[in-house]
Structure 1
Amino acid sequence: MKRLIFFKGIYDTLDLFTEELSRAFCMLGYETKILDVRNMQESLIQLSEFIKQPVTAAITFNNLAFNTELREGENIWEQLDIPCINILVDHPCFYHEALDKGPCNSVVLCIDINHMKYIQRFYPNIPVSGFLPHAGSIHVTNYKKLGEREIDVLYAGGVSAYVNDAIRPDWGKYGKFNGEELGETVLKHLLEEPSRTTEEAVESILNSRGILLTDEELRLLITDMRYIEGLAVSHFREGAVRALVEAGVKVTVYGAGWDKSSLSCHPCFDYRGKIPVRGILEKMMDTKIVLNTMTWFKDGTHERVFNGMLAGALAVTDTSGYMLENFNGMKELPQETEDDTENAQLVFFELTQMDKLPEKVKYLLGNLEQAQIIADCGYQKASEEHTWDVRAKEIEEALFS
């Protein structure tokens, strides 16, 4: 029997992913052990018992236990000769130190193809990297029809622009250029061309100015630019919600930072604070439209889309290369195009055309029969291709066969 080790204990969202993936592997016949890092002493005791029999791999999210050492300078997964599969659900630049010191028998999987390419370029010490789309965590079969649902539009996610001062870079450390001015220029480029990745914008600006950096210098600069990327993400996230509420569409919002937004006093803005991830999933099952903006994933996925679909709601999201290639999305209203929307699985909007978003959402809320057809197709697509059960099979085929 193949056997796997998992980890939990820091973030409830990552714990949910861990529990779902562990459950999925159990259904495939694997024996799994989830260790809680909040109690490392007890976890190490459980680990010592579990490894008395051969272990296929350790699987973690966002570096949890990825760099664990029992003896100083010796990674535990190298010491035990157990491959460690690290699934990153954020941009790798957030985890520079962890990746730089990653074990030599590691595998890093990314939810965006650009993130995978970033690993391959800037972290040659990582021997294997790959792309693994995100997945949804909701399991329902008899979901409520849209017309029976209480919440019209739901957005679940924080606005980091109001809470991310902790990662503001020390721009003064850059001697070859004005770091703060460069950051402002990168932000301007991202807002004007939101289809670009942050690293593309940074390199393009540096090249245009004749500033040459080594890959190591560039990697450290891009790591600092995660602060700028957060501002861009918040700009469009808040912009999508603002476009709707100012058009008279009520939006129910969960997540940190929204209480500091100027939207907080708007009568169509229904802010309900921050709740655990499982509570969000329950709310999605009583929502007509789940609104999503990608967290600057330009060729990847976000679990908000898949959870919305699996909840039986209609997902409305901005685009990415992966989403456009793998989903039938309604891009325009039926009266504006002759495109067949009967097979649409979700609704797309463009960040550069935010003014069209309210009209699309109002149309869908006013035409729930057509919205229901799209939601039903989305549910079928997500349940067949975008659950953790499917991801477990993909990991098994790629790494354990």
Structure 2
Amino acid sequence: MILAHVDPVSNTRTATAKRYMETKADDILETLALSREKAAGVSQLKNDLKYGDSDLRWKTDCFLVSWLQQELAAAGQFDNMVLLALGSDIQARMPFLKDMLSHQGEYGRFLENASPYMFLVGDDICFGVLEDFSRKFGAALQRAGYQVIFQNRNEIPQVYGQRFQGNSYRGIFGLQDPLMATKIENGSYLFDHINSKKYFWSFDHPAGFFDTLHAAPEDVIVLTLDKNYVSYTKRFLKRRALFFPPGGEKQSKTWKNFDEFKASKLRENQMGISFLGTPGVGLQENIDYTREHNRKLYPLVSTYSYNLLNHTDEPSEMAFERTLEDPEVGIKNQISDDDFAELFGEWASLEKNASKTVRKQVVKEIVSAGADLNVYDRGWKDIGDFPNLIVHDSIPYEDARKVYDKSWMSLNVMSWHKDGFTERIAEPQLHGSLVVTDSTRYLRENYTDGEDIVMFDLNDQSIKELPERIRALLSDKDRLLHIAYNGYLNALKNHTWDARAEQFLKLTAALD
């Protein structure tokens, strides 16, 4: 074996190494008889070279010397691969190679990176939206050249010891999944015995998952769709967090230019503006209930509700801080960050009620002004008798795309995300519908109002002006279609699931 007699300072050996550097590792690897799993792992590691620094190439080769030691020896290529990995800098690289051969140091990380991603599926919450996200993002990673396993989450506790314990995975994704905090009989975490990065992907404010994240292993990484939530998670939940919003599905039908897009939409569009949001329970209902059933909490609920609706451009944690500073509530000076996180977690759902309050205001304003609005939840009938409000039955998430296909415009009201992005932007745009949405900092930085999207603020004045803006666009189809087409191009470039896969691979390369 060549390692036994490599002299780090030998000029002869260095010259030999330089000659072998001219031989590409790919040429050596192609001579090997690899299992399907190892061939896929090698392919992943080669893909990773696009995202790493200049040292990743030789470090990967050192790992492959160890991981493929038997296959290299059988092909008579072990010594060649060693020399290629060491290159001309034998003295500096030799300790790393020895770590790889003894399965020490970074060996485990490289082994994980050569392994499949695992997505936990089998939960039908949110009308199947999260299941759809898992499948779509997983498929995008597969198209990018990475192995993906979709694992029924309900099977893991039963067959954990036989099938998962001690295995390596490139990453495990739990979409708002409490399984991330599950412990086994000996009191250790279920996923602590699986070698992998663990991603808890949250599509609501992470404060609402306080119990899960507080109980989860320390190495869980939170993925979230709002940059404010990243800051909150790091400070209050003491977890690593990354901004990573959902994407949209690129449809098979594409448009080569504006004229083709215009002809298609003029032929297919059948309805003016659609809205897939649900009405739900607003803040006033919460205030009334608390006043009647729990007077002790009434000052907190009513003050927090007031602060949410009077500071609609701020994240909800800022409204909650204002609430605790209010003399009627008066506990701000008595609370630590940990206590704040726990208390805010108990009341985080009120931001959803605030969103639903504003949704109803926006919908009423639009239909009161005479514009037709198609909604997809029978609960919208409860807001009043409006001839222009066209109420349909609720539809599964996969059918939403059919609605986007035939809608001139798609309304969106964020669930109080103030620096975020959601699939309710990407999906309609990828289907050629003009998105009308409340603004966020992220949208303002990545879109231009009136050019590739229509944005409004959640104050009374902006909402009152919205119906006229909608009416003007519906009466000027050419302008409407130009905005919709520009939005389509933006989403096609930046917000498909394939784009998300590329962004994720770059983002997580920095974690290594």
- Tell me the TM-score normalised to structure 1 length: 0.87
- Aligned equivalent of 1:59, options 173, 177, 181: 173
Equivalent residue number for residue 131 of structure 1? 243
Equivalent residue number for residue 106 of structure 1? 220
For these two proteins, the number of residue pairs brought into alignment is 380
Opposite residue 388 of structure 2, the aligned amino acid is C
Equivalent residue number for residue 350 of structure 1? 457
C-alpha distance in 2 between matches for 1:305 and 1:294: 10
| More strand per residue | 1
Instruction: Assess, with a 3 A threshold, how the Cα gap between structure 1 residues 218 and 256 changes in structure 2: closer, same or farther.
Output: farther
Q: What percent of counterpart residues are identical? A: 25
- Aligned equivalent of 1:240, options 340, 345, 362: 362
C-alpha distance in 1 between matches for 2:319 and 2:148: 42
C-alpha distance in 1 between matches for 2:155 and 2:284: 29
Counterpart check, 1:276 vs 2:396 = yes
Instruction: Assess, with a 3 A threshold, how the Cα gap between structure 1 residues 101 and 53 changes in structure 2: closer, same or farther.
Output: closer
- Aligned equivalent of 1:377, options 450, 475, 486: 486
How do 1:191-206 residues align onto structure 2 when only pairs under 5 Å count?
191-206=309-324
Instruction: Assess, with a 3 A threshold, how the Cα gap between structure 1 residues 29 and 207 changes in structure 2: closer, same or farther.
Output: same
Equivalent residue number for residue 145 of structure 2? 29
How far 1:251 sits from its partner (Å)? Answer: 0.7
Q: Is the 8 A contact 1:78 1:104 kept in 2?
A: no
How far 1:105 sits from its partner (Å)? Answer: 2.3
Structure 1 runs not aligned, ≥5 long? 331-343
C-alpha distance in 2 between matches for 1:198 and 1:226: 8
Q: Render the CA deviation track for 1:248-294: whole Å, top value 9, x for unaligned.
A: 111111147424x223x321111112111001111111111000111
How do 1:297-308 residues align onto structure 2 when only pairs under 5 Å count?
297-308=417-428
Residue 345 of structure 1 aligns to a residue in which SS? coil
C-alpha distance in 1 between matches for 2:149 and 2:266: 39
Instruction: Select the structure with the greater relative contact order (CA < 8 A; seq sep ≥ 6).
Output: 1
Q: Render the CA deviation track for 1:70-101: whole Å, top value 9, x for unaligned.
A: 43522122111222111111111221111101
How far 1:45 sits from its partner (Å)? Answer: 4.7
C-alpha distance in 1 between matches for 2:161 and 2:399: 31
- Aligned equivalent of 1:366, options 472, 475, 494: 475
Q: Is the 8 A contact 1:308 1:315 kept in 2?
A: yes
C-alpha distance in 1 between matches for 2:146 and 2:470: 44
Instruction: Assess, with a 3 A threshold, how the Cα gap between structure 1 residues 164 and 280 changes in structure 2: closer, same or farther.
Output: farther
Equivalent residue number for residue 6 of structure 2? none
Instruction: Assess, with a 3 A threshold, how the Cα gap between structure 1 residues 252 and 99 changes in structure 2: closer, same or farther.
Output: same
- Aligned equivalent of 2:375, options 239, 250, 253: 253
- Aligned equivalent of 1:19, options 110, 126, 135: 135
Residue 69 of structure 1 aligns to a residue in which SS? coil
Name which of structure 1's ranges 106-115 and 44-53 shifts more when overlaid on structure 2: 44-53
- Aligned equivalent of 2:347, options 204, 208, 225: 225
Equivalent residue number for residue 254 of structure 2? 141
How far 1:110 sits from its partner (Å)? Answer: 0.9
How far 1:129 sits from its partner (Å)? Answer: 1.1
State the structure with more CA Rg.
2
Residue 217 of structure 2 aligns to a residue in which SS? coil
Counterpart check, 1:214 vs 2:314 = no
Structure 2 runs not aligned, ≥5 long? 1-40, 42-113, 256-260
Opposite residue 30 of structure 1, the aligned amino acid is Y
Opposite residue 68 of structure 1, the aligned amino acid is T
Q: Is the 8 A contact 1:147 1:368 kept in 2?
A: no
C-alpha distance in 2 between matches for 1:150 and 1:186: 42
C-alpha distance in 1 between matches for 2:432 and 2:418: 25
Q: Is the 8 A contact 2:282 2:357 kept in 1?
A: no
Equivalent residue number for residue 7 of structure 1? 120
Equivalent residue number for residue 103 of structure 2? none
Query: What is the alpha-carbon root mean square deviation over aligned residues?
Result: 2.8
C-alpha distance in 2 between matches for 1:219 and 1:304: 28
Residue 506 of structure 2 aligns to a residue in which SS? helix
Q: Is the 8 A contact 1:22 1:32 kept in 2?
A: yes
Q: Is the 8 A contact 1:164 1:227 kept in 2?
A: no
Q: Is the 8 A contact 1:346 1:375 kept in 2?
A: yes
Residue 137 of structure 1 aligns to a residue in which SS? coil
Q: Render the CA deviation track for 1:142-164: whole Å, top value 9, x for unaligned.
A: 56315631121110111221699
- Aligned equivalent of 1:262, options 376, 383, 388: 383
Instruction: Assess, with a 3 A threshold, how the Cα gap between structure 1 residues 138 and 182 changes in structure 2: closer, same or farther.
Output: same
Instruction: Assess, with a 3 A threshold, how the Cα gap between structure 1 residues 247 and 253 changes in structure 2: closer, same or farther.
Output: same
Opposite residue 402 of structure 2, the aligned amino acid is E
| More helix per residue | 2
Counterpart check, 1:76 vs 2:195 = no
C-alpha distance in 1 between matches for 2:455 and 2:429: 14
Opposite residue 149 of structure 2, the aligned amino acid is K
Q: Is the 8 A contact 1:35 1:46 kept in 2?
A: no
C-alpha distance in 2 between matches for 1:201 and 1:84: 31
C-alpha distance in 2 between matches for 1:196 and 1:207: 16
